[in-house]
C-alpha cells in the first residue's frame, strides 16, 4: 500500500487521514479530491472533512493515501453469515427447490453452535476484508453470531431464527431469549407462513422494546401467491394489520411489489433490502428498485447468505444493483440506480434502516468513524475520472483498510481483530456435507427407479 506516515505520536488527541478522494455520501453526494478526514481519538467522532488545502499549514497528517478513496463503511442489511460452509452446496436451483431439497435437510443435519460459530467467523472475516462495517443477520443460534461479531469489533444486529423462521428481531444479544421463547414453536421459513397471531405479538414486543423487525418479504412469486391463496390477503396486508408496516420494518427482497404496495411502503417509512445477486441466482425476479426509490422508499442493500449468493462482498452487490436496476424499470434507462445511488443504498440508506443514520452511513462532522479505504491506484481501476464510478463499476477486492468506531480493524488487507478462521475445520464440514448430499441424491435416484 502506497502511503506516507508521519512520525506523529500515536497518543495525539486527533487522527487525520489524507486521501486522493473523500466520498462523503452527504446530502450533496460531495466528493473531495485530495481530502482529509479528521477525528477525535477519545470520542471516536469526526471533527472535520475537508480538502487538504483548508487545513492549517502546521496541521500534521497521520497518514497519506494518495491513490485511495475514503468512504463510509458498508452496511450489509440482510445476510445469513453462518451459512458460509454451505457456499456452493447447491447452485442453479429455484428458491423453493433450493430450500426444501437441499438447504433445510443440510441445516437439519449439521447446524449446531459449532457450525454457526465457524460459519460466522468465515462470514465476518470476508465482510471485513470487503469493507462491511455493520451487518444485519438472521440465523439459528444467534448468540453465537453475536459473540463472533463482538469479538471481531464489527457492528451487528442479529435476528434469532428457528428453522427457517424469519419474522422477528432484537437490538442486542441480551434481548434474544424473549423472542426465542415467543417463537420457538414456529415451523415456518418466511413471513408469508408466520401465523397472524404471532405477527401481532411480535409487533407488541417490538414496539415496547423499540427494536427493528427483520423479515423476508415477497421474495418469489410463489411466496406471494401462496400467502394470498392461504389467507385471502397479501403478506403486506398482514404486516400492516399487525402494526408492523412502519419505519422499524427491515424487509428483505421485496421483489414482487405492486405499485400500490410500493406506495404503502413509502408512506409507512418501511425499509426494503435489495439483494440483487441472490434474487438473480435463484431466478426469484428483479426488484423494481428505481420505482421504489422514486416513490420514496428507503432501499438499502444486502448480500443475502453466502449459500445463495456465494459472496458477501457488498462492493459486488453495489455494482450488480446498479447494472440490474437499469433494465428493471420504470422503463429501461441507463440512468436508473446510478453509481451514486448504489453507494447511498450501501451506506446511508442502510444506516437509516437500522436506525443509526445520525451516527453512521456518511463521513460528516459529528458522526462515528466507520470508514473504509479503497485502492483506486491499481491498474485494473485506472484511469479514474470519477471515483464513485470507479468504486461501483470497476473496483474488485480493493479495500485495503477499515475503521470501525475509529479502530483500524483491517490494515493493508490484514484483519487485525480476529484470526483467520480454521481451514481444517471447514474442510471437515465440507467432506461431511458432500457425503450427505451424495447419500441423499443416491437415495432419491433409487426411489425414482
The answer to which of 57-71, 119-133, 136-150, 199-213 has the lowest mean pLDDT is 199-213
List where CATH 2.30.40.10 sits in the chain. 4-72+362-415
Whole-prediction pTM value?
0.90
**CB–CB of 27/418 below 8 Å?**
no
Beta strands in 92-205 (DSSP E): 132-139, 155-160
The answer to which of 87-96, 140-149, 342-351 has the lowest mean pLDDT is 87-96
CA distance 368 to 371: 9
What confidence category does residue 408 fall into, taking pLDDT thresholds of 50, 70 and 90?
A: very high
- What pLDDT is recorded for position 173? 38
Closest alpha carbon to 315 in 76, 20, 56, 49: 76
311 contact partners, CB below 8 Å, separation of at least 6 = 126, 277, 303
List where CATH 3.20.20.140 sits in the chain. 74-353
What confidence category does residue 1 fall into, taking pLDDT thresholds of 50, 70 and 90?
A: very low
- What pLDDT is recorded for position 230? 85
What confidence category does residue 162 fall into, taking pLDDT thresholds of 50, 70 and 90?
A: very low
CA distance 449 to 429: 30
Residue 171 scores a pLDDT above 90: no
Residue 209 scores a pLDDT above 80: no
Stronger pLDDT, 324 or 446, i.e. the higher one: 324
- What pLDDT is recorded for position 422? 87
Query: What does the block give as the cell for 61?
Result: 497528517
Residue 176 scores a pLDDT above 50: no
pLDDT digit string, tens, across residues 412-443: 999 999 999 988 999 999 999 888 888 888 88
What confidence category does residue 243 fall into, taking pLDDT thresholds of 50, 70 and 90?
A: very high
- Region 121-146: what's the mean pLDDT? 93
- Region 288-292: what's the mean pLDDT? 96
- What pLDDT is recorded for position 273? 98
List the end-to-end C-alpha distance of the chain, in Å, as a whole number: 59
According to DSSP H, which parts of 331-384 are helical?
A: 339-346, 348-353
- What pLDDT is recorded for position 161? 57
- What pLDDT is recorded for position 58? 86
Give me the percent of the chain exceeding a pLDDT of 90.
Answer: 63
- What pLDDT is recorded for position 166? 37
Domain 74-353 has CATH 2.60.40.10: no
pLDDT digit string, tens, across residues 262-287: 999 999 999 999 999 999 999 999 99
Residue 82 scores a pLDDT above 50: yes
Residue 297 scores a pLDDT above 60: yes
CA distance 205 to 414: 41
pLDDT digit string, tens, across residues 32-65: 999 999 999 999 999 999 999 999 988 999 999 9
Residue 185 scores a pLDDT above 60: no
**Mean of the per-residue pLDDT values of the chain:** 87
- Region 152-172: what's the mean pLDDT? 59
- Burial category of 55 from C-beta neighbours within 10 Å (exposed 0-12, middle 13-18, buried 19 and up): middle
CATH number at 4-72+362-415 = 2.30.40.10
What confidence category does residue 392 fall into, taking pLDDT thresholds of 50, 70 and 90?
A: very high
Write the Ramachandran bin of 112: left for phi over 0, alpha for psi from -120 to 50, otherwise beta: beta
Closest alpha carbon to 282 in 418, 152, 417, 92: 92
Strand 271-274 versus strand 249-253 pairing type: parallel
- What pLDDT is recorded for position 182? 36
Amino acid at each position: 500500500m502506497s502511503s506516507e506516515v508521519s512520525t506523529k505520536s500515536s497518543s495525539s488527541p486527533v487522527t487525520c487521514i489524507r486521501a486522493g478522494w473523500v466520498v462523503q455520501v452527504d446530502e450533496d453526494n460531495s466528493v473531495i479530491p485530495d481530502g482529509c478526514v479528521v477525528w477525535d481519538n477519545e470520542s471516536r467522532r469526526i471533527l472535520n472533512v475537508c480538502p487538504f488545502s483548508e487545513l492549517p499549514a502546521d496541521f500534521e497528517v497521520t497518514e497519506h493515501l494518495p491513490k485511495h478513496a475514503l468512504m463510509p463503511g458498508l452496511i450489509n442489511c440482510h445476510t445469513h453469515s453462518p451459512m458460509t460452509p454451505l457456499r456452493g452446496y447447491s447452485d442453479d436451483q429455484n428458491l423453493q427447490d433450493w430450500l426444501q431439497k437441499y438447504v433445510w435437510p443440510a441445516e437439519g443435519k449439521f447446524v449446531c453452535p459449532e457450525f454457526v460459530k465457524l460459519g460466522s467467523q468465515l462470514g465476518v472475516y470476508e465482510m471485513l476484508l470487503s469493507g462491511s462495517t455493520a451487518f444485519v443477520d438472521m440465523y439459528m443460534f444467534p448468540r453465537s453470531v453475536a459473540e463472533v461479531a463482538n469479538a471481531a469489533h464489527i457492528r451487528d444486529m442479529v435476528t434469532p431464527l428457528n428453522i427457517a423462521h424469519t419474522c422477528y428481531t432484537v437490538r442486542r444479544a441480551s434481548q434474544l431469549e424473549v423472542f426465542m421463547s415467543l417463537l420457538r414453536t414456529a415451523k415456518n421459513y418466511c413471513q408469508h407462513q408466520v401465523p397472524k397471531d404471532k405477527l401481532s405479538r411480535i409487533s407488541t414486543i417490538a414496539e415496547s422494546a423499540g427494536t427493528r423487525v427483520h423479515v423476508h418479504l415477497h421474495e418469489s412469486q410463489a411466496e406471494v401467491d401462496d400467502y394470498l391463496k392461504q389467507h385471502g390477503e397479501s403478506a403486506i396486508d398482514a404486516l400492516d394489520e399487525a402494526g408492523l408496516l412502519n419505519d422499524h420494518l427491515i424487509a428483505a427482497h421485496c421483489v414482487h411489489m405492486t405499485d400500490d404496495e410500493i406506495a404503502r411502503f413509502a408512506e409507512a417509512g418501511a425499509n426494503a433490502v435489495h439483494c440483487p445477486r441472490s434474487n438473480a441466482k435463484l431466478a426469484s425476479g428483479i426488484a423494481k428498485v428505481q420505482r421504489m426509490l422514486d416513490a420514496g422508499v428507503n432501499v438499502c442493500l444486502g448480500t443475502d447468505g453466502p449459500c445463495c449468493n456465494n459472496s458477501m462482498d457488498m462492493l459486488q452487490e453495489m455494482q450488480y444493483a446498479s447494472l440490474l436496476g437499469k433494465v428493471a424499470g420504470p422503463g429501461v434507462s441507463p440512468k436508473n440506480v446510478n453509481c451514486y445511488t448504489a453507494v447511498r443504498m450501501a451506506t446511508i440508506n442502510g444506516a437509516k434502516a437500522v436506525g443509526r443514520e445520525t451516527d453512521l452511513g456518511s463521513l460528516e462532522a459529528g458522526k462515528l468513524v466507520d470508514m473504509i479505504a479503497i485502492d483506486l491506484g491499481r491498474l485494473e481501476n485506472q484511469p479514474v475520472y470519477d471515483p464513485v464510478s470507479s468504486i461501483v463499476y470497476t473496483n474488485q477486492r480493493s479495500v485495503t483498510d477499515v475503521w470501525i468506531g475509529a479502530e483500524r480493524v483491517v490494515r493493508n488487507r490484514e484483519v487485525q481483530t480476529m484470526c483467520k478462521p480454521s481451514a481444517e475445520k471447514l474442510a471437515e464440514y465440507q467432506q461431511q456435507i458432500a457425503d450427505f448430499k451424495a447419500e441423499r441424491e443416491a437415495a432419491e435416484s433409487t426411489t425414482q427407479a
